[in-house]
Chains A and B, each alone.
Chain A
Amino acid sequence: MIFVSGDVSACPESLGLSENDYIKEVFTMGKEDLVSNNPLRVLGLETDEAVDARRVGLVMARAGLGKTAILVQIAMDAMFRDNKVLHVAIGEGIDKTRTWYDDILTLINDDKKVANFQTVVDDIMKNRMIMTFKENSFSLATLEERMEDLSSQEIFKADCLIVDGFDFSDAESVSALNELNGFMNKNELKMIWFSAVSHRGDERVSANGVPAPCHEFDEIFDTVLLISPEDDEIRLKTLKCSEACSVDAGTSLSLDPATMLLKKA
């Protein structure tokens, strides 16, 4: 490694780099540090070959167990790879959603001490837009209309979509998911990740082990992750995963309960 992480004062000349290479190096190293322990990376889903495997993803958990934290990390991995991410938060405000990103980045930086942290963050945040809706004002059709508004004016053309707070218990909303493939193709989306709340008292599961309310239509998801507390730790289980995954379905990863980041291997 040429660039020493945390050393913001080094000169390109002293490193034998041209101005452009120096900047590139700083950004690459900064970004790498920020996503090295990202769930997608650990699952092997970040590679270009794995694009189909992660096309439609789902993170499930009971309320309050950190679905948004995982979705935000997935979004960040996409943003670091220069994909435009539209983060749709249903029933949440912009500030709260934004705080998730800020908090997770701060936590990672506390650990990694990323060089030129703020510059790297400013750079990747250009790849993010947050769109929030009230529960009763969200529909895929409205979302499509808004996305069209953004892309037609060349303001923001999303490559990836994060949908946090989608109501999978509502039959009408779920029936709209039948059009998901068409929606993705039309909008040239590389991936969509959803979150869903599972309930303690509801024992229903699909053959793949995907809990209710998503047990009856788990075929629409290529990857399904479940966050579950076990003893005194939080596990991120891979319930469903295509062959592109570097881990098998059933593998689980350990999450730090304080930060909801993956524990280091």
Chain B
Amino acid sequence: MSVDLSNVRNIGISAHIDSGKTTLTERILFYTDRIHAIHDVRGKDGVGAKMDSMELERERGITIQSAATYCTWKDININIIDTPGHVDFTVEVERALRVLDGAVLVLCSVGGVQSQSITVNRQMDRYNVPRISFINKCDRTGANPERVTGQLQEKLGLNAHMLQIPIGLEGDLEGVIDLVTMKAIYFDGENGETIREEEIPAGLKDAAEEKREELLDVVSMFSDELMEAMLEETEITTDMVKAAVRTGTLALEFSPVFLGSAYKNKAVQPLLDAVEYYLPCPTDVENIGLNLDKDEEEFSVTNDDEDPLIMLSFKLEDGRYGQLTYVRTYQGTLNKGDTVVNTRTGKKVKVGRLVRMHSDEMEEIDSCGSGDIVALFGVDCASGDTFTDGKHSCSMTSMHIPEPVISLAIIPKDNKAQINMSKALNRFTKEDPTFKTFVDHETSETIISGMGELHLEVYVERMKREYGAEVEVGAPQVAYRETITRRAEFNYIHKKQTGGSGQFGRVGGYMEPLEEGEYEFEDKIVGGSIPREFISSCDKGFKKSLAKGTLCGSPVTGVRCVINDGAFHAVDSSDVAFQLASVGAFKEGYMKAKPTIMEPIMKVAVEGPSEFQGSVMGSINQRRGMIIGTMEEGTYTVVEAEVPLSEMFGYSTSLRSLTQGKAEFTMEFASFKPVPKSVSEELIKKFQDEKKEK
């Protein structure tokens, strides 16, 4: 199947929770004839929006899992990933952005740029995703698209300018004026499906002219042709303006802004046109792969259907017919029945079924070409794996996956629940790299860890609903870490002589703080004081020691272990002996290296009316938070702070009561920082007490 790549758009729809992106997606699917009736998110009709396919999502009115869908607008094939709005699920947003070429940032015309939009925008910056903005809900009381555009410039630093102005606002929203074509556009029919283009109403003509002038001034920077036409005062064509906007958008130097109301069926179709005109096709963006044969040398993928296949799995789902793997092809063609190689495992897999996803429905296809987003059946892999045709070894750039910051114990209620829970956890951990699970051998409890309370809460709920696994949930625990703060030397002899062959190994060297990374091992042994075959045993021993620190039993990170001396015995030295010697050496060095406990610090943004600023700051201060700053915009203030996660439990309730429910907050992981002495002492004591009890 050969598709003209210039007619393909892989886009994501990202936004702050409740800005209406799922409703927008629903309308897009309606106007592109993928669905034939419109359903609300919090479906009064009991059907729910198409993209919120999980029962839980429909109930809560938020999107938890991104579902991929596909539609055709005019001649353009659009692959859409609907992405979650809550910060706890941002790995889904990040994954989507990694494989997409462009994005639509949806904003509420009343709420404007909120903290989650800032997070999403930062993620888009990270992956160089060109974006257009859609200011939704212009029918709502208090709608002010100009203010929101100003916020896009100030808060997000985008060179954002409106390409439309509204005809009426709030309850009077009738349509929009396109500043490129200088036409008024109205949306008639029961579902706004009939587009009517008219002359600009007389009362808005001057405003439209003025805004167009401003727009041309800005976008002429991206087109010599347009600039010349403006200077020479010759005719400025629609194509000239569109080309200039496109150039600026693709270069990430301009961000066009559209507006409307998806709920009231106003101005969604012009947004689809904008996706075609201004967002990149797969060949417009450079995607980088890593050549594994050449020490991960970077190379640009070709996007050519004729070249060897490279594709990346970015999402897994366990469905009725087995594992469903969402992939993006970066170059080459994939046919049904082809054998592909997973470059991480080296395993060959046959692609039995190839489907194009439309939320939870699918369409069988025979092949897909470069730039496409499709799903495979029955392919065993993890999210983030790269597949090739096996002729060359490469990997797409690895994805940024944050470490989990919160964990809780789950206890199955009965045997049946135990079996179902295992199945569920197996699936969830494969699907979501930020969701991890393990069994604490000391308590025999199953621990799940993730990115926030809501993140874990949703998985517990899904276990119950999708797998019938009833579990009891323990109190959430913060994922502490231990690290060392200074260099310390060790020299440890492990000696055991209890009949039979003995054990002997001496390991000498030092450990020191590692500024970046979790662990490093360096072998500086000269003269064979530790034989080569036992060097990896030392590494293994150190790694074992990292699993549990001696202060509070948390994993140890940021340590570089160097061995430079040792001794062995011709008969008694063995792999086990050197592993144990290294465990002993680690213990010896660790306490001298002034270990400390680190806790996850969250970046918290609280938004609310300015009158509550004092109380909000007070509440953060009480929670050991460090206020970074406040941003006051008339009657509204954002307080940004860094607060230890352990202090954030129950914050939503206390914030609600402090601000009469008028403020809201978001948080995301920022960094690990040492805990204060008092907290450290408490944690150490708790750990010691627990040890004694056992």
* Pairs across A and B, CB under 8 Å, 19 listed: A11-B487, A93-B154, A93-B631, A94-B630, A94-B640, A98-B629, A130-B628, A131-B630, A132-B631, A132-B632, A133-B632, A137-B634, A142-B632, A146-B613, A149-B614, A153-B618, A154-B621, A155-B621, A155-B627
Which chain B positions have C-beta within 8 A of A97? 629
Which chain A positions have C-beta within 8 A of B626? 125-126
Cβ A132 vs Cβ B627 within 8 A? no
Q: Beyond A95-B155, A133-B632: 8 further Cβ-contacts under 8 Å?
A: A8-B512, A11-B487, A87-B629, A129-B628, A134-B634, A137-B632, A146-B630, A149-B617
Cβ A94 vs Cβ B631 within 8 A? yes
Q: What 9 A-B pairs have minimum CB-CB distances, sorted nearest first?
A: A130-B629, A9-B487, A149-B614, A94-B629, A132-B631, A155-B621, A9-B512, A153-B618, A133-B632
Which chain B positions have C-beta within 8 A of A132? 629-632
Which chain A positions have C-beta within 8 A of B621? 153-155
- State which residues 479-518 of B face A: CB under 8 Å: 486-488, 512-513, 515
Cβ B633 vs Cβ A137 within 8 A? yes
Which chain B positions have C-beta within 8 A of A232? none
Residue of B nearest to A126 (CB): B626
Chain B 603-641: CB-based contact to A (< 8 A → 1; otherwise 0): 000000000011001100100001111111110001010
Which chain B positions have C-beta within 8 A of A9? 486-487, 512-513
Chain A 125-158: CB-based contact to B (< 8 A → 1; otherwise 0): 1100111111011000010001001100111100
Which chain B positions have C-beta within 8 A of A87? 629
Contact of A200 with B by CB under 8 A: no
Distance to closest chain B CB from A200 (angstroms): 21
Residue of A nearest to B511 (CB): A9
Per the bound structure, the CA–CA distance linking A134 and B154 in Å amounts to 10
Q: Max chain B CB contacts within 10 Å: which of A94, A118, A131, A153?
A: A94
Cβ A155 vs Cβ B630 within 8 A? no
Cβ B627 vs Cβ A11 within 8 A? no
Per the bound structure, the CA–CA distance linking A91 and B475 in Å amounts to 44
Distance to closest chain B CB from A122 (angstroms): 7
Per the bound structure, the CA–CA distance linking A9 and B638 in Å amounts to 40
Chain A 230-254: CB-based contact to B (< 8 A → 1; otherwise 0): 0000000000000000000000000
Contact of B201 with A by CB under 8 A: no
Residue of B nearest to A117 (CB): B515
Contact of A96 with B by CB under 8 A: yes
Question: Number of B interface residues, CB 8 Å?
Answer: 27
Distance to closest chain A CB from B16 (angstroms): 17
Which chain B positions have C-beta within 8 A of A94? 628-631, 638, 640
Contact of B673 with A by CB under 8 A: yes
Q: B-contacting residues of A (Cβ < 8 Å)?
A: 8-12, 87, 91-98, 118, 122, 125-126, 129-134, 136-137, 142, 146, 149-150, 153-156
Which chain A positions have C-beta within 8 A of B628? 94, 98, 129-130
Per the bound structure, the CA–CA distance linking A137 and B154 in Å amounts to 15
Cβ B486 vs Cβ A11 within 8 A? yes
Per the bound structure, the CA–CA distance linking A129 and B632 in Å amounts to 14
Cβ A155 vs Cβ B640 within 8 A? no
Contact of B157 with A by CB under 8 A: yes
Distance to closest chain B CB from A170 (angstroms): 18
Residue of A nearest to B631 (CB): A132
Per the bound structure, the CA–CA distance linking A130 and B642 in Å amounts to 13
Which chain A positions have C-beta within 8 A of B512? 8-9
Q: Max chain B CB contacts within 10 Å: which of A91, A93, A118, A153?
A: A93
Distance to closest chain B CB from A8 (angstroms): 7
User: Contacts A8-B513, A126-B626: A150 and B640 contacting too (C-beta < 8 A)?
Assistant: no
Which chain B positions have C-beta within 8 A of A98? 628-629
Which chain B positions have C-beta within 8 A of A134? 632-634
Distance to closest chain A CB from B612 (angstroms): 11
Per the bound structure, the CA–CA distance linking A150 and B486 in Å amounts to 37
Residue of A nearest to B155 (CB): A93
Which chain B positions have C-beta within 8 A of A118? 515
**Could you say which of B154, B155, B632 contacts A131, with CB atoms under 8 Å apart?**
B632
Cβ A149 vs Cβ B673 within 8 A? no
Which chain A positions have C-beta within 8 A of B630? 94, 129-132, 146
Per the bound structure, the CA–CA distance linking A69 and B44 in Å amounts to 55
**Could you say which of B487, B629, B631, B632 contacts A10, with CB atoms under 8 Å apart?**
B487
Chain B 107-151: CB-based contact to A (< 8 A → 1; otherwise 0): 000000000001000000000000000000000000000000000
Distance to closest chain A CB from B21 (angstroms): 23
Cβ A11 vs Cβ B488 within 8 A? yes
Per the bound structure, the CA–CA distance linking A136 and B629 in Å amounts to 19
Which chain A positions have C-beta within 8 A of B617? 149-150, 153, 155
Which chain A positions have C-beta within 8 A of B618? 153, 155
Distance to closest chain A CB from B636 (angstroms): 10
Distance to closest chain A CB from B255 (angstroms): 16
Cβ B613 vs Cβ A96 within 8 A? no
Which chain A positions have C-beta within 8 A of B487? 9-11
**Could you say which of A91, A131, A149 contacts B629, with CB atoms under 8 Å apart?**
A131
Cβ B157 vs Cβ A149 within 8 A? no
Residue of B nearest to A155 (CB): B621
Distance to closest chain B CB from A23 (angstroms): 10
Distance to closest chain A CB from B643 (angstroms): 13
Q: Max chain A CB contacts within 10 Å: which of B157, B627, B634?
A: B627
Distance to closest chain B CB from A121 (angstroms): 12
Residue of B nearest to A9 (CB): B487
Distance to closest chain B CB from A4 (angstroms): 13
Per the bound structure, the CA–CA distance linking A59 and B633 in Å amounts to 26
Per the bound structure, the CA–CA distance linking A154 and B618 in Å amounts to 9
Residue of B nearest to A131 (CB): B630
Per the bound structure, the CA–CA distance linking A240 and B396 in Å amounts to 59
**Could you say which of A10, A129, A133, A154 contacts B627, with CB atoms under 8 Å apart?**
A129
Per the bound structure, the CA–CA distance linking A156 and B627 in Å amounts to 9
Cβ A129 vs Cβ B486 within 8 A? no
Per the bound structure, the CA–CA distance linking A237 and B453 in Å amounts to 55
Distance to closest chain B CB from A156 (angstroms): 7
Per the bound structure, the CA–CA distance linking A131 and B513 in Å amounts to 35
Which chain A positions have C-beta within 8 A of B515? 8, 118
Per the bound structure, the CA–CA distance linking A118 and B629 in Å amounts to 20
Distance to closest chain B CB from A9 (angstroms): 4
**Could you say which of A8, A122, A133, A136 contacts B673, with CB atoms under 8 Å apart?**
A122
Residue of B nearest to A133 (CB): B632
Per the bound structure, the CA–CA distance linking A132 and B628 in Å amounts to 11
Residue of B nearest to A136 (CB): B634
